[in-house]
A and B are shown apart, each in its own frame.
Chain A
């Protein structure tokens, strides 16, 4: 519903006869807009008669006003709103020229039309309007903003500046709405890569009216700077950080020391202090921060070797509070990372929390008395460690570490000084006189974090050892959590560019064997379920209704006697109404004529979609059946069978001893 829908119901008069009469009553075409000519004579002559000579003057004056007002209204409109669009300059001469074939209407001239094809960026007003246009359709983001330009550089895979040629709404291959930015004269400021197109998430709902970017909008003189990350859904692979794209008019800046308009507008947002900088000034700052070329980040990690068959990939991005660290807790608690001053996430660190009460697991490990407090400390073969202690205010300190031995854990715990419980972040301070370690990162679990994880799996060797390699991005504190709160524990951790790469598996590969997958392969891997799902998902087996080609469901000996059990034969049969010819039922038949039963076999149990649907005496030969539909093609269903030593009356099968088992398959019925 729109406010305009009611106009569809307004009755419209039939005017054709009036139109024909009008066309016949005048001999010369009149200039449209000169409202007093002709029409005045036809329509409202009586309105003017009484006014005599003065009416004649008024007619002339009204005519001139009519011509001028049509120009004035447009001019006023453009002036009042600060239109970027070139305003029409229709004048009397142009109006006269058009009279014979076209009416005089306010419209852009042919000369102006070519210049209005590209939206110019020359003034602050231009920039403001362009900013509104570019921001149309942008979603509301809940994200962790960058602290400053330096953090944007740290987070970005690539930082570029250049000219914005055009923009248009588009879609990703999976149908997600995007705004595409066509760019040129690209200057790489930090990182490595080739970029011609940048996309940003955007949606334009139908209820919002016509999409201003539904068609390509070109720009003239519009510069941009973008802090980019790779994204598999992006056509060219690049999308800006939420607060990492801004635009400015070429040449528009405020002289140093003066107060003036903001020379840039953000696509979404910008870190504090950046808004007053021009695109070129930000570019200079980025280059200063970037310094020496850094190693490219890995965001689509795969193991290089072809001996490890790549089977799947998963990607997770998110933004929000940390819901659980090791354990989900319904309380607000601090998370602190303690490590050496120069350490990265790949180096030894301790993650410390402070809780209201101890976990159900209690305090695990051997107790050491540290500063008069009992501290339970445990260390494990995988290099992880943990410590738990009770504070005097009955809160609980918990530490989990990576790469610390018992001595190091004791030193860290001994250096911790509890903050007041009503402190903004009620964790611990570190007495640096006691240890070289320091608090490197800290926040509350309710503070939002940006998270990114890309994982691929591959199977190595004849035995199919599973290797899993992950690239972690996002907030540094989250990276630490993701390294240490995982199973299995990490085999190797290394910083590669701006991401943390974690390798799980045996020692056949190292992180040196991890490379960046190309987009095409990565997209295919993302389509595959992970290894755990692959091995537990029943395979789909088609079965044709009414066909004599049975589906074989093998039985396997579960008792170690190596009995060749043979297959059960599955088929879908049909039932018809003799009078009408309609199919009234489709049945699943399980034919046991070709199996060999275990000597102890008593009961055959049939499972459909995980539930017992048949339990009867196990015999060779008979065919058992169950209705699958009332005539329509049955929906797919999972089926498995067990031959057991048990009591047929034991409906739950609690006392069954499995003798012969079938795998679970998913039958997919189809018509011939």
Chain B
């Protein structure tokens, strides 16, 4: 039996770990999911849910950062699948405030191009280029070997180049 105070302590520790990852990773994770999904709502949902589930799991998670990143993208993939089933396209959300409008106009082309990519390619590219992950760091998060990831990333970049050329490169 674990004593209550010990449980409380563990819970506080786990919360601190998640909070720490939130402080360091939330913004780039949200932006990565946004770039992957092309929709704020999906990014909101997937990111919040991933962190929330991490809080609920507490000490069960060994590597909180890796778990949250994997989870967020898994949730986003699921969300996108559901949207397709419901007939909701992967379209840029229509913003209202001026800053969002300008942002939308600037990124509309990129998001459109990303949306044309295969999901696996899109995920790899945004993880590296928006999430800022190096392949050597990303490989253990995705549970693949470094060389495998590099080969996949190389192919994804090559397939994406013709689509993404002219979008500010």
Do the beta carbons of A20 and B71 come within 8 Å of each other?
A: no
A136–B148 Cα gap in the complex (Å)?
A: 16
A18: chain B residues within 8 A (beta carbon)? 48, 52
* Size range of the chain A interface in the assembly: 35 or more
Do the beta carbons of A107 and B142 come within 8 Å of each other?
A: yes
A11: chain B residues within 8 A (beta carbon)? 99-100, 103
Q: Which of A22, A33, A81 sits near B77, CB closer than 8 Å?
A: A33
B88–chain A nearest beta-carbon distance, Å: 11
Do the beta carbons of A133 and B103 come within 8 Å of each other?
A: no
A80–B19 Cα gap in the complex (Å)?
A: 40
Indicate the member of A7, A8, A113, A136 with the most B CB atoms within 10 Å: A7
Which A392-418 residues have C-beta < 8 A from chain B? none
Do the beta carbons of A215 and B135 come within 8 Å of each other?
A: yes
A331–B74 Cα gap in the complex (Å)?
A: 68
Say whether B85 faces chain A, with CB atoms less than 8 Å apart: yes
| Cβ contacts B129-158/A at 8 Å (1 or 0 each) | 110001110000011111110111111011
Do the beta carbons of B120 and A74 come within 8 Å of each other?
A: yes
Do the beta carbons of A101 and B145 come within 8 Å of each other?
A: no
A58–chain B nearest beta-carbon distance, Å: 8
Say whether A10 faces chain B, with CB atoms less than 8 Å apart: yes
A384–chain B nearest beta-carbon distance, Å: 56
Do the beta carbons of A210 and B135 come within 8 Å of each other?
A: yes
Stretch at the interface among A61-69, A581-589, A620-628: A61-69
Count residues of B near A (Cβ-Cβ below 8 Å).
Answer: 74
Do the beta carbons of A77 and B119 come within 8 Å of each other?
A: yes
Indicate the member of B150, B153, B159, B168 with the most A CB atoms within 10 Å: B150
A6: chain B residues within 8 A (beta carbon)? 103, 106-107, 110, 168
Given contacts A3-B113, A73-B120, A107-B144, contact A101 B57 (CB under 8 A): yes
Q: Which of A16, A76, A113, A132 sits near B145, CB closer than 8 Å?
A: A113
Say whether A117 faces chain B, with CB atoms less than 8 Å apart: yes
Say whether A29 faces chain B, with CB atoms less than 8 Å apart: yes
Indicate the member of A20, A32, A39 with the most B CB atoms within 10 Å: A32
Do the beta carbons of B70 and A102 come within 8 Å of each other?
A: yes
Do the beta carbons of B150 and A215 come within 8 Å of each other?
A: yes
A207–B157 Cα gap in the complex (Å)?
A: 12
Which B110-131 residues have C-beta < 8 A from chain A? 110, 113, 118-121, 125-126, 128-130
Q: Which of B52, B78, B129 sits near A66, CB closer than 8 Å?
A: B78
Given contacts A3-B113, A77-B119, contact A133 B169 (CB under 8 A): no
Q: Which of B22, B77, B145 sits near A73, CB closer than 8 Å?
A: B77
B159: chain A residues within 8 A (beta carbon)? 81
A118: chain B residues within 8 A (beta carbon)? 147
Given contacts A10-B31, A210-B150, A217-B151, contact A69 B136 (CB under 8 A): no
Do the beta carbons of B129 and A2 come within 8 Å of each other?
A: yes
Say whether A100 faces chain B, with CB atoms less than 8 Å apart: yes
B106: chain A residues within 8 A (beta carbon)? 6
Say whether A216 faces chain B, with CB atoms less than 8 Å apart: yes
Say whether A319 faces chain B, with CB atoms less than 8 Å apart: no
Do the beta carbons of B103 and A9 come within 8 Å of each other?
A: yes
Do the beta carbons of B153 and A212 come within 8 Å of each other?
A: yes
Say whether A218 faces chain B, with CB atoms less than 8 Å apart: yes
Do the beta carbons of A69 and B142 come within 8 Å of each other?
A: no
Chain A interface main SS type:
loop
Q: Which of A3, A33, A104 sits near B164, CB closer than 8 Å?
A: A3
Do the beta carbons of A103 and B67 come within 8 Å of each other?
A: yes
Say whether B56 faces chain A, with CB atoms less than 8 Å apart: yes
Q: Which of B103, B158, B169 sits near A2, CB closer than 8 Å?
A: B169
Given contacts A43-B45, A119-B147, contact A4 B78 (CB under 8 A): no
A92: chain B residues within 8 A (beta carbon)? none
Given contacts A73-B119, A102-B67, A209-B157, contact A3 B73 (CB under 8 A): no
| Cβ contacts A14-25/B at 8 Å (1 or 0 each) | 011011101100
Q: Which of A1, A2, A65, A81 sits near B155, CB closer than 8 Å?
A: A81
Nearest residue in B to A86 (C-beta to C-beta)? B148
Q: Which of B31, B34, B121 sits near A77, CB closer than 8 Å?
A: B121
Given contacts A73-B119, A116-B145, contact A85 B151 (CB under 8 A): yes
B132–chain A nearest beta-carbon distance, Å: 10
Do the beta carbons of A113 and B143 come within 8 Å of each other?
A: yes
A73–chain B nearest beta-carbon distance, Å: 5
Say whether B47 faces chain A, with CB atoms less than 8 Å apart: yes
A73–B36 Cα gap in the complex (Å)?
A: 14
B73: chain A residues within 8 A (beta carbon)? 105
A619–chain B nearest beta-carbon distance, Å: 71
Q: Which of A10, A19, A85, A100 sits near B148, CB closer than 8 Å?
A: A85
B168: chain A residues within 8 A (beta carbon)? 1-3, 5-6
| Cβ contacts B36-77/A at 8 Å (1 or 0 each) | 000000001101111111011100111000010011011101
Nearest residue in A to B54 (C-beta to C-beta)? A23
Q: Which of B129, B144, B147 sits near A215, CB closer than 8 Å?
A: B147
A32: chain B residues within 8 A (beta carbon)? 50, 53, 71, 74-75, 78
B17: chain A residues within 8 A (beta carbon)? none
Do the beta carbons of B35 and A33 come within 8 Å of each other?
A: no
Do the beta carbons of B85 and A62 come within 8 Å of each other?
A: yes
Do the beta carbons of B74 and A33 come within 8 Å of each other?
A: yes
A218: chain B residues within 8 A (beta carbon)? 147
Say whether B91 faces chain A, with CB atoms less than 8 Å apart: no
Do the beta carbons of B147 and A12 come within 8 Å of each other?
A: no
A81–B120 Cα gap in the complex (Å)?
A: 11
Say whether B27 faces chain A, with CB atoms less than 8 Å apart: yes
A285–B148 Cα gap in the complex (Å)?
A: 36
Say whether A495 faces chain B, with CB atoms less than 8 Å apart: no
B152: chain A residues within 8 A (beta carbon)? 83, 85
Given contacts A74-B120, A113-B145, contact A212 B150 (CB under 8 A): yes
Q: Which of A22, A26, A65, A81 sits near B48, CB closer than 8 Å?
A: A22
Do the beta carbons of B52 and A22 come within 8 Å of each other?
A: yes
Say whether A36 faces chain B, with CB atoms less than 8 Å apart: yes
| Cβ contacts B9-32/A at 8 Å (1 or 0 each) | 000000000010010001100110
Do the beta carbons of B53 and A29 come within 8 Å of each other?
A: yes
Do the beta carbons of A113 and B144 come within 8 Å of each other?
A: yes
A217–B19 Cα gap in the complex (Å)?
A: 37
A508–chain B nearest beta-carbon distance, Å: 57
Nearest residue in A to B118 (C-beta to C-beta)? A77
Do the beta carbons of A15 and B47 come within 8 Å of each other?
A: yes
Q: Which of B51, B118, B150 sits near A214, CB closer than 8 Å?
A: B150
A563–B87 Cα gap in the complex (Å)?
A: 105
Say whether A108 faces chain B, with CB atoms less than 8 Å apart: yes
B78–chain A nearest beta-carbon distance, Å: 4
A3–B119 Cα gap in the complex (Å)?
A: 18
Kindly list the 5 A-B residue pairs having the minimum CB-CB distance in the complex, ordered from nearest: A212-B154, A22-B52, A23-B55, A3-B167, A35-B78
The 11 sampled A-B contact pairs (Cβ below 8 Å) are A10-B31, A11-B100, A18-B52, A35-B81, A62-B82, A65-B81, A80-B118, A102-B70, A108-B144, A212-B151, A215-B146
- With A15-B51, A108-B143, A214-B135 given, can you name 5 additional A-B contacts, CB distance below 8 Å? A83-B152, A101-B61, A108-B148, A136-B154, A212-B150
Q: Which residues of B contact A (CB under 8 A)?
A: 19, 22, 26-27, 30-31, 34-35, 44-45, 47-53, 55-57, 60-62, 67, 70-71, 73-75, 77-79, 81-82, 85, 99-100, 103, 106-107, 110, 113, 118-121, 125-126, 128-130, 134-136, 142-148, 150-155, 157-159, 164, 167-169
